[in-house]
């Protein structure tokens, strides 16, 4: 049986592959959940005469953005403890609130709020790690959102699990439950070197190798993390991970703000991938990831927003802009991390990071139709010399107009196709009251 086709005709298409390509006067044809073909509009209309068409004048069509690190449920903690040093923020504010409030409903409601924000900002896939992954997976599924949902591992007891063994056991059961859901994948998510023991990491490595499942880990996030590791283990965190067998092509390393040149070489030689979260790192004064050097060494670097509690938004366009600006100022080279490189990092680079580059990340026939259309018609974009540059250096999430995930349209001209935003916002407001009750007694 033939599948329904639909023609999308924007002014510009940036397919990401071939690199630095910008198509004008072209259309993209969707067949079911996949991209059928890209071709000049006149040919598309002729070849697919029975197809419906979406005209998007003065729009740039790109692959959907891939947010490679976040804690979706923490959107409910947005702004609760701003302008604080990281360990103060974490130990005196975030962890105490989580200890009293986090449950399945908290995670479900917070994840739906995050997915709503991401869809409206052109993000079609995200890597998430938090407690109660079952609730997060259910929320992502209900929002028809593509995600890698992490299996958290910590040595500390919490509302979801008690100790590392319990975390791993529950994580494996969760993995079995979602293995046949088409938009969901999973990864082991040991929190950080300071919150997981050597034996915990060894167990994670063993299961990762047996199940061919990636490991998503906060690593070298702060100078304090590095100095504490030297004090407690006699090794920098990367050296400890190497000793434990964690430093491999399975590792998705998050933050990486404290790197020496020899460690960059070590990451490249071991096939480790890195996700850069510039705005969270700036806000918490954690440091800067040396992405220019990592890219030159051959390391795949993706972009992530981190959670809204430390960002405070999930805007991938502004995140990429921050990454570019930081790279330029750190290197003293204005040519570093160009607009086209940024677009590749936030699409195909993210897809590679999650092991999904055969399915998403570029606009190629046969790939899943995860698409983002950005409206560049406003006066702030004029005159228009380079749509990709205007996307990275001028646009924000609010300029995203239309979004598809797996061929299903979720956003049309800035409006949700299946609106349920009122119930999502209402749930967030109810949680705000409970959070305020805790904060007022601190």
Question: Model confidence over 41-94: pLDDT tens digits?
Answer: 999 999 999 999 999 999 999 999 999 999 999 999 999 989 988 888 888 889
Contact status, residue 422 vs residue 158, Cβ threshold 8 Å: no
Question: Which element (helix H / strand E) includes 371?
Answer: strand 371-375
Q: pTM of this prediction?
A: 0.97
Helices (H), 179-236: 198-211, 223-233
227: Cβ–Cβ under 8 A, 6 or more apart, which residues?
none
Residue 332 burial (C-beta neighbours within 10 Å; 0-12, 13-18, 19+): exposed
Q: List the chain pLDDT tens, one digit each, 442 residues.
A: 357 999 999 999 999 999 999 999 999 999 999 999 999 999 999 999 999 999 999 999 999 999 999 999 999 999 998 998 888 888 888 988 999 999 999 999 999 999 999 999 999 999 999 999 999 999 999 999 999 999 999 999 999 999 999 999 999 999 999 999 999 999 999 999 999 999 999 999 999 999 999 999 999 999 999 999 999 999 999 999 999 999 999 999 999 999 999 999 999 999 999 999 999 999 999 999 999 999 999 999 999 999 999 999 999 999 999 999 999 998 899 999 999 999 999 999 999 999 999 999 999 999 999 999 999 999 999 999 999 999 999 999 999 999 999 999 999 999 999 867 899 999 999 999 999 888 765 5
Report which of 315, 304, 312 is spatially closest to residue 398, judged by C-alpha positions: 315
Strands 273-276 and 251-255: parallel
Domains and CATH numbers, the chain: 5-63+368-406 (2.30.40.10), 65-353 (3.20.20.140)
For 369-397, the pLDDT digits (tens) are: 999 999 999 999 999 999 999 999 999 99
């Amino acid at each position: 049986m033939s599948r329904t086709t639909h023609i999308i005709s924007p002014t510009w298409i940036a397919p990401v592959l071939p690199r630095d390509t910008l198509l004008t006067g072209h259309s993209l044809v969707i067949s079911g959940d996949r991209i059928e073909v890209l071709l000049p509009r006149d040919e598309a209309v002729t070849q697919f005469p029975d197809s419906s068409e979406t005209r998007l004048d003065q729009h740039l069509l790109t692959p959907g953005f891939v947010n490679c690190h976040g804690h979706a449920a923490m959107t409910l903690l947005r702004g609760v403890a701003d302008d604080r040093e990281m360990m103060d923020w974490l130990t005196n504010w975030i962890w105490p609130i989580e200890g009293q409030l986090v449950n399945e409903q908290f995670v479900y409601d917070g994840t739906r709020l995050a997915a709503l924000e991401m869809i409206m900002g052109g993000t079609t896939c995200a890597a998430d790690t938090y407690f109660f992954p079952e609730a997060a997976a259910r929320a992502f599924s209900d929002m028809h959102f593509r995600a890698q949902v992490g299996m958290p591992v910590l040595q500390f007891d919490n509302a979801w699990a008690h100790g590392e063994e319990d975390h791993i056991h529950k994580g494996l059961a969760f993995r079995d439950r979602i293995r046949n859901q088409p938009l969901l994948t999973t990864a082991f998510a040991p929190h950080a070197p300071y919150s997981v023991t050597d034996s915990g990491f060894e167990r994670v490595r063993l299961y990762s190798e047996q199940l061919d499942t990636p490991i998503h880990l906060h690593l070298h996030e702060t100078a304090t993390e590095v100095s504490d590791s030297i004090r407690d283990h006699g090794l920098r965190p990367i050296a400890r991970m190497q000793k434990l067998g964690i430093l491999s092509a399975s590792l998705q390393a998050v933050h990486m703000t404290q790197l020496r040149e020899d460690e960059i070489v070590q990451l490249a030689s071991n096939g480790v991938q890195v996700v850069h979260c510039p705005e969270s790192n700036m806000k918490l004064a954690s440091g800067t990831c040396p992405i220019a050097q990592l890219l030159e060494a051959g390391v795949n670097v993706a972009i992530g927003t981190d959670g809204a509690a430390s960002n405070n938004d999930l805007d991938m366009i502004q995140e990429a802009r921050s990454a570019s600006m930081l790279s330029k100022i750190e290197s003293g080279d204005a040519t570093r991390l160009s607009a086209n490189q940024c677009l590749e990092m936030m699409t195909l680079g993210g897809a590679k990071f999650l092991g999904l580059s055969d399915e998403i990340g570029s606009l190629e026939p046969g790939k899943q139709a995860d698409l983002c259309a950005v409206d560049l018609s406003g006066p702030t974009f004029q005159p228009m010399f380079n749509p990709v540059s205007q996307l990275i250096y001028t646009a924000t999430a609010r300029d995203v107009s239309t979004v598809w995930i797996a061929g299903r349209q979720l956003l049309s001209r800035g409006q949700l196709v299946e609106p349920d935003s009122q119930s999502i916002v209402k749930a967030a407001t109810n949680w705000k009251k409970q959070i305020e009750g805790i904060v007022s007694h601190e």
